[in-house]
Amino acid sequence: EISICWLRRDLRLEDNAALYEALKGPFPVLLLFIFDKNILSKLADKKDARVTFIQQTLEELNSGLQKTGTGILAKYGTPEEVWPEVLSKYNVRSVYANHDYEPAARERDDTLGEYLQSEQIAFHTFKDQVIFEKGEITKADGKPYTVFTPYFRQWQQKLNEFYIKAYPVKKYADNFFPLKGLEIPSLAEMGFEASSISFPSKDFAAKLDAYENRRDYPAADATSHIGIHLRFGTISIREAAREAVARNAQKWLSELAWRDFYMMILWHFPYTATQSFKPAYDHIKWRNEESEFEAWCQGNTGYPIVDAGMRQLNETGYMHNRVRMIVASFLTKHLLIDWRWGEAYFAEKLLDYEMASNVGGWQWACGSGNDAAPYFRIFNPELQTKKFDPESRYINRWLPAYKQQKHVLPIVEHAFARERVLKVFKEALNEN
Ligand code: FAD
């Protein structure tokens, strides 16, 4: 008789809610990971860096565990295939996992829950990847907040040691199910190749002290880069929050709250994954000019700050937050291209891609999302550059000199684009 702890986006042995609860329970615990074919088959790039990251992380965890006589049972397949196989091989009495708030993940977990129930196996799930989840921060009438400021006020008030203390997994480490010889599927076995992109380190703490003053300057590179670690759980959100509280890094803490906020929005309003939060915005007559989209993707718009950002993204899988806002505004407002196109491109490229934050960020930039700002806020790329990259240090780092020459014509003229988007947005929003 055993329990299974199913790892998904919580790839760590420390401070892991489901793992802690499983180990504390009555049966020895076997760790399971599924390289989900349903997800992997949708990835166009066979060198996808995120797949490399997951595979490497599991190799490391597994080799550590093998030294203590256990390991990770890692399977390549769909959950629908893998679960019956695992249940036929082991006498599983209960399954533990951490909550996942994305629509497809919820569906997957609901289906598994029903299946396990039919097999009379208990399914226990826990909050792990956020500080406060779904219904924990609500308005007085129990409804979810849809604007960040009042949400954050309550988030801050509620935050105390209880919510950020670590789950002491080690205490129960002798309850792992002993199993030798476990191997993680190689990238090649799954039809992937190793990416050459280098991954951000986990040492984020040193970045926090100067964060508030320098975070908005892309050349300063003064942010933590822990997005990928929060995405796959290689750093616990509670550890991140504890460090922020210890250093009184309030601004950085508020960014972690934005992450919670967007996850909660996606949970309460799953339609926003593909539709505008404010429905009227789905009446906008986007131009969706493919050649212009391609120019934007490749960093060939003739706007240096936009092009530098897209090149940083294409080369490293990362883009600075200020520049994400600029390029997103540029695509949706200057080029009048549907925010979903940009969202999909970021989803393909970002190491730290997180559906909730990405959809939230894109809808914020286009004006269709959880924000009180009016749609006529249109970023002017030149003014943004003057303010946040005054010496063009960021631009020079990412954009070859010849691309910055005056003779590279901008894809669209700013004043013209501004008038055009105001007219198109007004038409769509007024008629509703
Ligand atoms: P830091 O500034 O050091 O912040 C620490 C952590 O807080 C981040 O890693 C992230 O987990 C969280 N965070 C910070 N800012 C935000 C924010 N505005 N919204 C939600 N969480 C935040 N963030 C993602 O994690 N994944 C995405 O796919 C993503 N897509 C975005 C798309 C657009 C159009 C925009 C404008 C923003 C997007 N963001 C996204 C938010 C933000 O840009 C990144 O989280 C941040 O740049 C990551 O760098 P960092 O780890 O150095 O962040």
User: Atom 23 (ligand 1): residue with closest C-alpha?
Assistant: 357
User: Atom 21 (ligand 1): residue with closest C-alpha?
Assistant: 259
**d(CA 354, ligand 1 centre) in Å:** 9
**Per the annotation, does 187 bind a ligand?**
no
Per the listing, tokens 């550590």 go with: 64
Does the Cβ of 37 fall within 6 Å of ligand 1?
Answer: no
User: 3-state DSSP call for residue 345?
Assistant: helix
Does the Cβ of 362 fall within 6 Å of ligand 1?
Answer: yes
What one-character-per-residue DSSP string does 237-263 give? HHHHHHHHHHTT-HHHHHHHHHHHHHH
Which tokens go with 143? 């409804």
Q: Which atom of ligand 1 is nearest to the CA of 353?
A: 28
**Per the annotation, does 259 bind a ligand?**
yes
Q: Which atom of ligand 1 is nearest to the CA of 350?
A: 28
**d(CA 215, ligand 1 centre) in Å:** 12
Which tokens go with 244? 């922020």
Half-sphere exposure of 91 (CA within 13 A, CB side): 3
Q: Give this complex's ipTM.
A: 0.99
Residue pair 73/30 in contact by the 8 Å Cβ criterion? yes
Does the Cβ of 229 fall within 6 Å of ligand 1?
Answer: no
**d(CA 175, ligand 1 centre) in Å:** 37
In DSSP terms, which residues pair with 74 in a beta bridge?
Answer: 33
β-pair type (2-7, 72-77): unpaired
Question: What are the tens digits of pLDDT across the range 157-203?
Answer: 999 999 999 999 999 999 999 999 899 999 999 999 999 999 999 99
**d(CA 222, ligand 1 centre) in Å:** 13
10-residue averages of pLDDT along the chain (432 residues): 98 98 98 97 96 98 96 98 98 98 97 98 98 94 95 97 98 95 96 96 95 97 97 98 98 98 97 95 96 97 97 97 98 98 98 98 93 80 97 94 74 96 92 58
Does the Cβ of 258 fall within 6 Å of ligand 1?
Answer: yes
In this prediction the pTM is 0.97
**Per the annotation, does 261 bind a ligand?**
yes
Q: Which atom of ligand 1 is nearest to the CA of 327?
A: 34
Does the Cβ of 319 fall within 6 Å of ligand 1?
Answer: no
Does the Cβ of 27 fall within 6 Å of ligand 1?
Answer: no
pLDDT of residue 371: 78
CA-CA distances (angstroms) from residue 108 to 103, 105, 112, 349, 388? Answer: 9, 5, 6, 24, 43
Per the listing, tokens 């240096």 go with: 304
Report the distance separating Cα 146 and Cα 7, nearest Å: 30
Does the Cβ of 342 fall within 6 Å of ligand 1?
Answer: no
pLDDT of residue 406: 62
**Per the annotation, does 262 bind a ligand?**
yes
Mutation probe of ligand 1 site: the residue of 352, 359, 377 with most atoms within 8 A of C-beta: 352
Mutation probe of ligand 1 site: the residue of 321, 343, 366 with most atoms within 8 A of C-beta: 321
User: Atom 51 (ligand 1): residue with closest C-alpha?
Assistant: 225
Does the Cβ of 8 fall within 6 Å of ligand 1?
Answer: no
**Per the annotation, does 209 bind a ligand?**
no
User: Atom 9 (ligand 1): residue with closest C-alpha?
Assistant: 227
**d(CA 182, ligand 1 centre) in Å:** 35
**Per the annotation, does 257 bind a ligand?**
yes
User: 3-state DSSP call for residue 399?
Assistant: coil
pLDDT of residue 370: 85
Per the listing, tokens 């600029």 go with: 326
In order of their start, the domains of the chain are 1-128 (3.40.50.620), 129-165+207-268 (1.25.40.80), 273-430 (1.10.579.10)
